[in-house]
Chain A
Amino acid sequence: MIKNIKNMQPNALIGYSLLSMIIIVSLVGAIISPYDPVEADFLNRFASPSAGHWFGTDEYGRDVLTRILNGTFTSLRVSTAAVILSVIVGVVLGACTGYFGGWLDRIAMVVVDSIMAFPGLLLVLGIMSALGPSELGIIIALGIAYTPSITRIVRGTVFSLREKDFVEASKLCGNSDWVTLFRHILPNCITPIVVISTSIFTSALLSETALSFLGLGIPPPEPSWGSMLADSRNYLGLNPWMGIFPGLAITFTLLSINLIGDALRDKWDPYMRNL
């Protein structure tokens, strides 16, 4: 374990430690914080950062730090779930269409292309208005919106791998199509999948913010970084830290995720392994 950390590249180390710090601090902080993230305290509205309220308070007098710490889980949960959903659907769809081709491929690609033709946020808005603002609704909407890009990339990669000699060798060994697909083709797709999922993760996190901004995000008063940022927009001149601190939380999380994504790509790329 320690040896692994020693061999890690500096960027990866920064990424991992930043993310684990964010998670641990949120966990501990949310428990030991003396304030309630939801309950209003009208005597302390718009307080500046002070010893009592490190990050100040918002328009209902709620402690911004406490809300950020509690919001970590909402925000990360939503984006992680959305990424997992779109990766599962996208990989299955992309692998099948890329490997088997034929009419399945044509139909799936028509669907995927038409989803891609919509501006992403518009699509999510449409789905959200059908599902109503709820956490599950956001997850499903974001998941659907990001599936096409994963499908496209996986399909393209599978398509090119399908013609490789080692895939042919697997068929000649007598392996069935599914074994060939799962044992030989999909492991070689990991690199692009990791790269695209980290970028999707970051944009899912931002989309959640944008949705909250538009009033379709996590329903209030539940704290999430996006809704906090959205709430702050009316008071930015008056009380800028209401927006600055959730914004910083988003920035550092995205930074750590991107660094981890780069590190994972380098680690899993077999051509980089012995460098």
Chain B
Amino acid sequence: MQQKTESHMSPPTHPLLEVKDLSIAFPSARFADNKRDKSTTPVVNRTNFSLKSGEIMAIVGESGSGKTMVARALLGLLPSGGIISKGSINFSGEDLTKFDQQQWKNIRGQKISMIFQEPMVSLNPTLKIGFQICEAMSHHTSLPYQTIWARAVELLTQVKIKDPEQCMHKFPHEFSGGMRQRIMIASSLMMKPDLLIADEPTTALDCIVQKEVMDILLNTTRNEGTAVLLITHDLGLVAHYASKVLVMEKGNVVEGGKVSNILDKPTHPYTRKLLSSLPHKPEPLEAEAEAEAEAETANCIVSIKNLCVDYPIRRQWFWQQQQYNRVLHNINMDMRAGETLAIVGESGSGKTSLGRAILQLVNASKGSISVSGIPITGENPPSLRDMSPIVQLIFQDPYASLSPRQTIGKSISEPLLLKPELGKDEITKLTKQALKDVGLPDDYYNRYPNELSGGQRQRVSIARALISKPKLIIADEPVSALDITVQAQILSLLTKLKQKYGFSCIFISHDLSVVEQVADRVVVLLHGHIVEWGSSEALFNRPAHPYTQKLLAALPELQAKGEGSYALHTREHQHYPLPSGYQEAADYADAQLSHVKLSDSHYVACQKTL
């Protein structure tokens, strides 16, 4: 199938990069089967693709699919032990697989360069930006330093860094993640490479920043005529930016070709699975009206009044006055029992602090919170033990949320140990039931977390939160660390469990497409202020606040068009203006926001025009 697509779309001109039958293997684990054999384990099998200059191709796959290995092989940077066991990589007429270190040196950075996933660690914190950008070029060429410097400034201008000349004299810590990624783009394009490999370049960034960086990356490479190989797990990104795509599963290319063709007619089951795992708009339920009516009478599970949260700033000297950094400003929020409320915002917007305040993990400095009728702020707050049957948390990072030295069973059953009326057998029975609830076999009871995958760990985390049958579950980015198919499974598991146990759920997330799938109501946070809140339907269809509109526009989304076919969908909202007489707050640090009611269940916060 692969060959067919390739021949079908083989370019008339000689391609820049041609990968033929590329297989990558690693030596087998030493203690496998108690035998030390010299056999190897393949991680990439017989991959074929080609890339013309200036073209943008994406490799899509989940973790462990081998997509990064392909990228690393193109740069001769396979992790130690990895070998190219078969095939050839033809790059502008030369076979890269036969290169020695000296030849690689001339290719890397000059002809092929790479952008890494984590902008926070890919720049050396002890060297100035200017030096780091110019370093490679001054090694490779004999151009005068002024010329190189000028080229760097020109590129920084292209990636829209403000005041590029100044920037060259600064250190990396003075820039945010998005800015650093732009600097990385500039630095990787210094030598006018023919090919740029971008390995998940925006995965660590917020969605608005992601859009900015991707736009800049593609504009710049288009200006420079550089071909781009984009390694990603995000199909929306692929649809938005790439022209060709390769879908990889467990080291095999399962499908490849033009993006539009593949979206239109995905043929391989894995591609279809990937596409169907994308968060999708829920079908409007008929029961909704009924639910509304029910909600009217239902009581509030969480009620927050004028909540402010401050974090102390570290003092230099003990006689200095303690300064505070306000992360949440005058939050007012009510949540009905049984609903799913999503809290949305970029990193640093205070969404996690809000969740932690409800859990009593941070203290409110002003205002009040009551959960299920119990005030948790004020004079005599209830202890965490009193609150544990009422509110529980599901963590973001499945690798940090389970104690590595406790078996799964022990981790899950822990809340039950505090109930003296339960016998040992009963606890085991309940724990196994909880394992069954989250879809894990009960022989996982005696396993340790390191034997489990990320998705399975997240299931355990859910089981632990659910075992004390809480009324409210706070899920802090529960799926953002997971692969897309696993993410879909966890989301549907949460929905299923919610129906079964009827808990309310606060869903904290930065991913609006996920939020749209699960939430009944949405709260948008910006710099510690609630700027808009309302029913999911109102907020996604008629976003009123400019920030919400920006968030939604930045979302590269794929939508089902019908039977198994998908198309890129950008939310081109007609511009809903703020109510007359109001404007967006210019400075959120000490803004006095008024809350304007737009409809029954839709509010926006903005400033009165003076």
A residues adjacent to B (C-beta < 8 A): 164-166, 168-176, 183-184, 187-188, 190, 270-271, 273-275
B388 pairs with A187, CB closer than 8 A: no
Q: How far is the CA of A169 from the CA of B468 in the complex (A)?
A: 13
Per-position 1/0 for B25-37, Cβ under 8 A of A:
0000101000000
- Asked if B361 contacts A273 (CB within 8 A), the reply is no
Q: For A190, what are the chain B residues with a Cβ–Cβ distance below 8 Å?
A: 405
Residue contact A270 to B393, C-beta cutoff 8 Å:
no
In chain B, positions 443-494 with a C-beta closer than 8 Å to chain A are 448-451, 461, 464, 468
Asked if A168 meets B388 with Cβ closer than 8 Å, knowing A188-B403, A188-B405, the reply is: no
Known: A174-B386, A188-B405, A270-B449. 19 other contacts (CB 8 A): A166-B403, A166-B411, A168-B361, A168-B393, A169-B395, A170-B414, A172-B361, A173-B388, A173-B414, A174-B387, A174-B418, A176-B385, A184-B403, A188-B403, A270-B450, A273-B448, A273-B450, A274-B450, A275-B29
Q: Which residues of B contact A176 (CB under 8 A)?
A: 385
* B248: interface (CB < 8 Å): no
Rounded to whole angstroms, the CA-CA distance of A184 and B411 in the bound complex is 10
Residues A166 and B450 in contact, CB atoms below 8 Å apart: no
Contact of A174 among B388, B403, B461 (CB under 8 A): B388
A271 contacts B404, C-beta separation under 8 Å: yes
CB distance from B299 to the nearest CB of A (A): 23
Asked whether B400 lies within 8 Å of A175 as measured between CB atoms, the reply is no
Q: Which residue of A lies closest to B476 (CB)?
A: A165
Considering the chains assembled together, what is the distance between the CA atoms of A156 and B133 in angstroms?
Answer: 37
Q: What range describes how many residues of B lie at the interface?
A: 20 to 34
Give Cα A273–Cα B418 distance, bound, in whole angstroms. Answer: 30
Contact partners of A169 in chain B: CB under 8 A: 393, 395, 401, 461, 464
Whether B392 is near chain A, meaning CB under 8 Å from some CB there, is yes
Knowing A169-B393, A273-B450, say if A184 contacts B406 (CB, 8 Å). Answer: yes
In the bound complex, what is the Cα–Cα distance between A125 and B422 (angstroms)? 56
Check if B359 is an interface residue, CB within 8 A of chain A: yes
A219 to B359, CA, bound (A): 61
How far does the alpha carbon of A164 sit from the alpha carbon of B403 in the complex, in Å?
Answer: 9
Contacts of B396 in A (CB 8 A): 165
B384 within 8 Å of A (CB atoms)? yes
**Is there a chain A Cβ closer than 8 Å to B44's Cβ?**
no
Please, which residue of chain A has its CB at the minimum distance from the CB of B393? Answer: A172
> With the chains together, A37 CA to B396 CA distance in Å?
65
Task: Name the residue on A nearest B450 (C-beta).
Answer: A270
Contact (A174, B401) CB under 8 Å given A168-B361, A169-B395: no
Looking at A176, A187, A190, A270, which has the most chain B CB atoms within 10 Å of its CB?
A270
Contact B404 A174 (CB under 8 A): no
Q: Could you list some 14 contacts between A and B, CB below 8 A? A: A164-B400, A165-B396, A166-B400, A166-B401, A166-B403, A168-B393, A170-B403, A170-B414, A172-B359, A172-B388, A173-B388, A184-B406, A187-B405, A274-B451
